[in-house]
């Protein structure tokens, strides 16, 4: 069937041409929606350059998504995307926005008000996400609001030419004579030549679209550039760390077995290679001069500290500590070791008269994250600290600049608050911090863990002798033994890197003679206090994974 719009019309003074049908118009309307969304996001980025990065809608909505996503989905995301989880989230958010925008354009073509309402709703979601962040400022709704206004204006400006009444025929028709200026010919081509009778002004659509896309690009790109003013990388690199009163114990010769075993994790993890786990899409940027650490709750003499107060102390310690994440799967790599510099936590808390009744310290970070640690561990675990330095540098911004907490022997989510701005001495009964609200265990001591680094799973290699090697950890207790079993053989003890400190992981290596064929290699560790890593498999949720890491390999 031929609809009236698809019907061939006779142009005044010209031959008959097929008229672009509804399909084209719909396509352009959907495009209008997409462009309107782009301008909304672009303008929002520009406003966020004044207000703050975390107020930008993509960041705010992403943050809200992280806060609201069920734990199972979050674990799936961490498992699937690893440390690219946040990139995946941002890309996912943008895809959803794009699909929604296409729809808004289509709806707007028929019912303009509904289209406008669609953009407004989109803006309100951004506003809601931005203002409900735990660390939201009063102006945080502004980027989404102004962005949505720009989006509405763009949508209306782009839909108008698609809904225009039948216009005059363009000046240039058919084959353009040579004396017609190039600009006019171009414009005529953009406007669809003389096929302009369908009630749409394609030329105006594309001209307006071009302008709007330009505005989106300039606002978005410019906004992003201007947002760099929030970066504290420069101030961080100018910061000079003091020397520790108590340096890290010297490492014995040959302490790092990775020097002789290829594929083995190095004893120390470089700052760039250190795993990162947090909920921050826009990493908090704290200026050293603005930094305050505020104590509240069950302290006799709570006070607040500047960064200089902390850096200027004469009791700074430097320690080698392995940090691990509760989300680490059997065989996983969410662990790293660094040489940390910081304020001894026990002394610091005692100085402020932390009361005996406090069982939990709720640490608050700049972005509103709350992390609860047992007061007792904070007081008693040797080497617990307010860390200021990591491997000889100020903390990297992603790892908590300028101050984070570290308590060896506890998973990161229950001790290692980054961008630390507050410590509230309270009890476990009184407060459920962020992860505990999401049903992770309130108390989270690290489990004995060992991992095979080499050979990698499913690797094939020549039959004969080759090293099997990896790392093992049980912070605060230390690793006493690591054993390897090939197929149904006996457990054979591996060589361990020198015991330096109980808070530091130990590398292990064993030379194994592989007969040709498939083999299964398993590892288990025993802590210095005699706990053998259990065989029984458990998922990370709610208190850390267990189970022997096993890899299948082929010797040829
Ligand atoms: N502010 C803040 N601190 C945080 C987190 C977070 O999401 N926000 N994640 C915690 C978790 S789960 C872990 S495992 C460690 C990871 O520290 P890293 O990123 O420096 O390796 O930081 C902890 N501190
Ligand atoms: Mo973690």
* CB half-sphere exposure, 96, CA atoms < 13 A: 12
Q: Which atom of ligand 1 is nearest to the CA of 366?
A: 1
Residue 81 has pLDDT above 80, yes or no: no
Greater confidence (359 vs 85) lies with 359
What pLDDT is stored for residue 20 in this prediction? 55
**Mean pLDDT of the 469-476 span:** 98
Q: Is 359 a pocket residue for ligand 1 (Cβ < 6 Å)?
A: no
Which ligand lies nearest to the CA atom of residue 326 in the structure? 2
For the question of whether the overall pTM of this predicted structure is more than 0.85, the answer is yes
- The fold for domain 257-437 equals Sulfite Oxidase; Chain A, domain 2 (3.90.420)
Which ligand lies nearest to the CA atom of residue 277 in the structure? 1
Residue 483 has pLDDT above 70, yes or no: yes
Long-range contacts of 259-262 (CB under 8 A, 24+ apart): 261/454, 261/467, 261/469, 261/507, 261/509, 262/454
CATH number of 449-555: 2.60.40.650
Substitution site in 277, 366, 444, 473 for ligand 1 pocket (most atoms within 8 Å of beta carbon): 277
Across the chain, what does the average pLDDT equal? 90
CA 171 – CA 283 distance, rounded (Å): 55
What pLDDT is stored for residue 135 in this prediction? 84
Residue 172 has pLDDT above 50, yes or no: no
Residue 402: asked if its preceding bond is cis (omega within 30°), the reply is yes
Q: Is 417 a pocket residue for ligand 1 (Cβ < 6 Å)?
A: yes
- Tens digit of each residue's pLDDT (9 = 90 or more) over 301-334: 999 999 999 999 999 999 999 999 999 999 999 9
What pLDDT is stored for residue 67 in this prediction? 85
Q: Is 399 a pocket residue for ligand 1 (Cβ < 6 Å)?
A: yes
Q: Is 422 a pocket residue for ligand 1 (Cβ < 6 Å)?
A: no
Q: How far is CA 239 from the centre of its chain?
A: 26
What is the residue extent of each domain of the chain? 17-230, 257-437, 449-555
What pLDDT is stored for residue 179 in this prediction? 55
Cα of 326 vs centre of ligand 2, distance in Å, is: 5
Strand partners, 408: none
Residue 376: phi and psi, rounded to 5, are: -60, -45
CA 537 – CA 123 distance, rounded (Å): 46
Substitution site in 75, 335, 371 for ligand 1 pocket (most atoms within 8 Å of beta carbon): 371
For residue 288, what pLDDT band results from cuts at 50, 70 and 90? very high
What pLDDT is stored for residue 258 in this prediction? 97
Q: What share of the chain is helix, strand, coil (3-state, %, to 5)?
A: 35, 20, 40
Q: Is 533 a pocket residue for ligand 1 (Cβ < 6 Å)?
A: no
| Exposure string over 416-438, b if 16+ CB within 10 A, otherwise e | bbbbbbbbbbbebeebbbbbbeb
**Mean pLDDT of the 182-210 span:** 65
Residue 341 has pLDDT above 50, yes or no: yes
**Mean pLDDT of the 220-246 span:** 96
- Tens digit of each residue's pLDDT (9 = 90 or more) over 42-54: 999 999 999 999 9
Task: Sort 5 into a burial class: Cβ within 10 Å, 0-12 / 13-18 / 19+.
Answer: middle
**Mean pLDDT of the 478-494 span:** 98
What pLDDT is stored for residue 430 in this prediction? 98
Which ligand lies nearest to the CA atom of residue 405 in the structure? 1
Q: Is 466 a pocket residue for ligand 1 (Cβ < 6 Å)?
A: no
What pLDDT is stored for residue 75 in this prediction? 74
- Tens digit of each residue's pLDDT (9 = 90 or more) over 247-257: 999 999 889 99
Which residue has the CA at smallest separation from atom 1 of ligand 1? 418
Q: Is 438 a pocket residue for ligand 1 (Cβ < 6 Å)?
A: no
Longest dimension (CA), the chain: 97
Residue 184 has pLDDT above 70, yes or no: no
- Tens digit of each residue's pLDDT (9 = 90 or more) over 98-147: 999 999 999 999 999 999 999 999 999 999 999 998 888 889 999 999 99
Name the least confident of 7-21, 157-171, 458-472, 503-517: 7-21
| DSSP 8-state secondary structure symbol assigned to residue 419 | S
Q: Which atom of ligand 1 is nearest to the CA of 435?
A: 12
Which residue has the CA at smallest separation from atom 24 of ligand 1? 417
**Mean pLDDT of the 437-461 span:** 95
CA 141 – CA 55 distance, rounded (Å): 7
Q: Is 440 a pocket residue for ligand 1 (Cβ < 6 Å)?
A: no
CA 94 – CA 77 distance, rounded (Å): 17
* CB half-sphere exposure, 99, CA atoms < 13 A: 5
What pLDDT is stored for residue 406 in this prediction? 98
What pLDDT is stored for residue 195 in this prediction? 44
For tokens 């799936």, the residue is 76
The answer to whether 154 and 115 are in contact (CB under 8 A) is no
Strand partners, 522: 485, 550
For residue 294, what pLDDT band results from cuts at 50, 70 and 90? very high
What pLDDT is stored for residue 66 in this prediction? 85
């Amino acid at each position: 069937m031929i609809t009236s719009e698809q019907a061939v019309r006779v142009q005044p003074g010209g031959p008959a041409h097929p008229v672009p049908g509804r399909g084209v118009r719909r396509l352009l309307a959907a495009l209008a929606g997409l462009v309107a969304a782009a301008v909304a996001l672009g303008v929002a980025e520009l406003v966020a350059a004044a207000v703050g990065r975390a107020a930008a809608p993509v960041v705010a909505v992403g943050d809200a998504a992280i806060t609201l996503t069920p734990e199972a989905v979050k674990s799936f995301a961490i498992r699937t995307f690893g440390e690219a989880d946040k990139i995946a989230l941002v890309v996912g958010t943008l895809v959803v926005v794009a699909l929604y925008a296409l729809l808004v354009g289509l709806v707007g073509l028929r019912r303009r008000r509904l289209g406008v309402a669609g953009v407004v709703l989109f803006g309100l979601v951004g506003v809601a996400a931005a203002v409900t962040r735990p660390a939201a400022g009063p102006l945080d709704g502004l980027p989404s609001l102004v962005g949505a206004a720009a989006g509405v204006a763009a949508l209306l400006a782009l839909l108008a030419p698609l809904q225009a009444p039948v216009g005059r025929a363009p000046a240039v028709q058919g084959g353009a004579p040579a004396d017609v200026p190039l600009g006019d010919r171009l414009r005529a081509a953009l406007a669809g030549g003389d096929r302009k009778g369908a009630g749409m002004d394609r030329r105006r659509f594309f001209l307006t679209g071009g302008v709007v896309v330009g505005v989106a690009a300039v606002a978005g790109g410019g906004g992003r550039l201007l947002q760099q003013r929030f970066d504290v990388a420069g101030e961080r690199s100018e910061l000079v760390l003091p020397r520790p009163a108590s340096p890290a114990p010297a490492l014995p010769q040959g302490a790092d077995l990775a020097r002789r075993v290829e594929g083995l994790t190095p004893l120390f993890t470089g700052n760039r290679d250190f795993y990162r786990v947090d909920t921050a899409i826009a990493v908090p940027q704290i200026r050293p001069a603005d930094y305050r650490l505020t104590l509240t709750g069950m302290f006799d003499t709570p006070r607040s500290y500047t960064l200089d107060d902390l850096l200027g102390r004469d009791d700074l310690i430097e320690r080698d500590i392995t940090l691990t994440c509760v989300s680490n799967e059997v065989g996983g790599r969410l662990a790293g070791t660094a040489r940390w510099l910081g304020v001894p936590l026990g002394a610091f808390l005692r100085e402020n008269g932390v009361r005996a009744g406090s069982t939990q310290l709720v640490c608050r970070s700049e972005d509103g994250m709350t992390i609860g640690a047992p007061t007792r561990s904070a007081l008693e675990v040797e080497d617990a600290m307010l860390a200021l330095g990591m491997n000889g540098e100020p903390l990297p911004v992603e790892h908590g600049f300028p101050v984070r907490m570290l308590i060896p022997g506890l998973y990161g989510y229950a001790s290692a608050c980054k961008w630390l701005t507050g410590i509230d001495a309270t009890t476990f009964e009184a407060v459920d911090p962020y992860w505990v609200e999401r049903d992770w265990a309130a108390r989270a001591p690290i489990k004995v863990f060992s991992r095979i680094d080499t050979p990698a799973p499913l690797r094939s290699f020549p039959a004969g002798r080759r090293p099997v090697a990896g790392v093992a950890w049980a912070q605060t207790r230390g690793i006493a033994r690591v054993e390897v079993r090939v197929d149904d053989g006996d457990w054979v003890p591996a060589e361990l890197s020198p015991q330096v400190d109980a808070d530091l992981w130990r590398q292990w290596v064993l030379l194994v003679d592989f007969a040709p064929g498939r083999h299964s290699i398993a590892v288990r560790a025993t802590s210095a206090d005699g706990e053998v890593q259990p065989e029984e498999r458990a998922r990370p949720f709610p208190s850390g994974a267990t189970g022997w890491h096993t890899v299948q390999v082929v010797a040829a």
